[in-house]
Each structure stands twice: as C-alpha cells, then as structure tokens.
C-alpha cells in the first residue's frame, strides 16, 4: 500500500474546490492536488522509485495578491522561491512541488528512494503553504512536465482551461485517497 506524502491528512480537503485537481483558475486548470501543511512539514516518497531531478526551482511566491488569489512577485518585492522534486515510480511520475530549499539526505538525480523515505519539506510561501502534487502516467517520457502549449490529455476529457502540462498528466485524487499515513504502517 502506498504512503501518504505528508505525516497527516490536511485539514482542508484537496478533493474539491481550489485545492483540487482540475480547478479552473483564471489563468489555467489546476494540474495538481494541493495538500495544505505548515512550512517545514516532512514530505515522503509515496512509493519506491528513482529521483529524476531536483530539488530545483519551481514557483516564485510573492507578497502581493491579485483578486484571483495568485501571488505576484515584482522587482521591489520580497519573494520566496519554492522547489520541486520529480520521482519516477514503477507506474507513474510524481512532481512534488512547492518544496523548501533544504535537501533531504540522499535526494539527488539518479538516487533510489524507498516508500515513505523523507525527500524534503514543505516550503515557505507568502500565501498558503502546501505540497503541490502532480502525477504523470508515462515513466519513459523524460520531456518537460510543464508544456505551456499542450492542449491534449489522454487520461481525462478536455477541460475549458489548459493545464499547461504534458499529455500524460493524471488526476492524483483517487491515488492519494488510497494512501496510508506513515504513522499507521
């Protein structure tokens, strides 16, 4: 059974609303489940796998807020960089995003990871802190996970908004729901 990527289930559901996969935001469809957690919360590998890349720069969080809730970072602002780690598991790739800058022991490209292994910590941000978890179905495709112009997806029907991700993007909601907390194993 797979391990939930955080020590506890988030208090606010990642299965509906703005934290859920497919939420249609002003600028694009949401390509992940956002698991709210305090900065510094441990992040675990959901299954054994191999680190593809990371940690590397992912999302720049700014102190200003637009009406749509997206943080803005401009030249005179104090902004916070979050990071991402991509792990190739047996049947899918997970992008663990909005991770802090700290590097967990042994986490580097090519490293083998075990299920439940500490891979990083939730990063600080100016808005909500969270693990942004994306899932992809083609473990042999090593092209960029972010693809701004892609509009075709093979694992779900077309939506009104573009996800701006690879065509093998998957909805991780049911998978996460089936995971077991590390403390219960």
Residue 70 pLDDT class (50, 70, 90 cuts): low
Instruction: Note whether residue 8 is domain-resident.
Output: no
Closest by alpha carbon to 171, among 140, 131, 135, 130? 135
Instruction: Note whether residue 116 is domain-resident.
Output: yes
Instruction: Note whether residue 17 is domain-resident.
Output: no
What domain range includes position 128? Answer: 23-175
Instruction: Note whether residue 13 is domain-resident.
Output: no
Instruction: Note whether residue 54 is domain-resident.
Output: yes
Q: What is the mean pLDDT of residues 153-165?
A: 87
Cα torsion 70, 74, 79, 85: sign: positive
pLDDT at 120 over 80: yes
109 or 62: whose pLDDT is higher?
Answer: 109
Contacts of 103 by beta carbon, 8 Å cutoff, 6+ apart: 55, 120
Name the domain count of the chain: 1
Give the domain CATH number at 121.
2.70.70.10
* pLDDT tens-digit map of 129-148: 999 999 999 999 999 999 99
Give the number of other CB atoms < 10 A from CB of residue 58.
19
DSSP 86-124: EEEESS-EEEEEEE-S---TT-STT-EE-TT-EEEEBPP
Beta bridge partners of 53: 86
How many angstroms separate the CA atoms of 109 and 112, rounded? 9
């Amino acid at each position: 059974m797979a391990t939930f990527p955080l020590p506890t289930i988030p208090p606010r559901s990642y299965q509906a609303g703005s934290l859920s996969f497919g939420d249609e935001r002003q600028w694009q469809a949401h390509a992940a489940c956002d698991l709210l957690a305090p900065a510094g919360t441990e992040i675990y590998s959901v299954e054994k796998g191999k680190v593809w890349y990371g940690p590397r720069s992912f999302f720049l969080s700014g102190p200003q807020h637009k009406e749509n809730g997206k943080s803005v970072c401009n030249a005179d602002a104090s902004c916070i960089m979050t990071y991402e780690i991509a792990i190739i598991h047996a049947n899918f790739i997970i992008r663990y995003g909005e991770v802090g800058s700290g590097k967990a022991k042994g986490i580097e490209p090519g490293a083998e990871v075990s299920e439940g292994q500490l891979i990083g910590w939730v990063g600080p941000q100016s808005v909500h802190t969270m693990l942004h978890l994306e899932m992809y179905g083609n473990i042999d495709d090593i092209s960029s996970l972010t693809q701004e112009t892609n509009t075709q997806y093979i694992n779900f029907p077309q939506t009104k908004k573009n996800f701006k991700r690879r065509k093998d993007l998957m909805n991780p909601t049911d998978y996460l729901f089936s995971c077991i907390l590390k403390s219960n194993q």
